[in-house]
Structure 1
Amino acid sequence: MISPFYLKHKTPNNIYVFKTNIESESDMNVIEFLLNSNPKIIQCSVDLEDIDRVLRIEASKYLSEKEIIDMVKSKGFYVEELE
């Protein structure tokens, strides 16, 4: 049984999915280093095989989509939310 205390205080995470122009392993390393330096980001990955170069991010509920977009754009990459 899960403790009611745990359920009450557990912070839900958000999943964000973006279309990008990340094209290579070196591009991916730049983005992963940037995103992994943010303590609000739990996990991130880029699918280089997908035509949309999908960036998937699991983050705390305290990180906004706009913050992620601004971070990725700061490195010169295109990024937009996939719905």
Structure 2
Amino acid sequence: MIGIFKTNIATHSESHNVLKAIRQHFDVGHCNVDIEDCDRVLRIVDLKVTEDQMVDFVKAQGYQCEILE
């Protein structure tokens, strides 16, 4: 499954830290944050947890996160 989320991750440093935390806690494929996009899209390939679990995890990192339909 591919997870696509709207976030407020604004810098490359923030993106790096969040992606590192995701990779350390979850078995995922490629993931990235498009900080140039107005929705600061977080995209995760091979997401093996529910989207709600990922939303909660990113929020626990201190960022806004919601499923992007």
TM-score above 0.5, yes or no: yes
1:15-40 CA distance string (max 9 Å, x none): 01010000001110111111111342
Question: Number of aligned pairs?
Answer: 69
Instruction: Give 5+ residue unaligned stretches, structure 1.
Output: 1-13
1:67 maps onto 2:53 in alignment: yes
Query: Over the residues paired in the alignment, what is the CA RMSD in angstroms?
Result: 1.2
Instruction: Give 5+ residue unaligned stretches, structure 2.
Output: none
Question: Quick check: which one's strand share is greater?
Answer: 1
Corresponding residue SS for 1:42: coil
Which structure has more relative contact order (CA 8 Å, sep 6+)? It is 2
Q: TM-score, normalised by structure 1?
A: 0.76
- Percent of matched pairs sharing the same residue: 38
Q: TM-score, normalised by structure 2?
A: 0.90
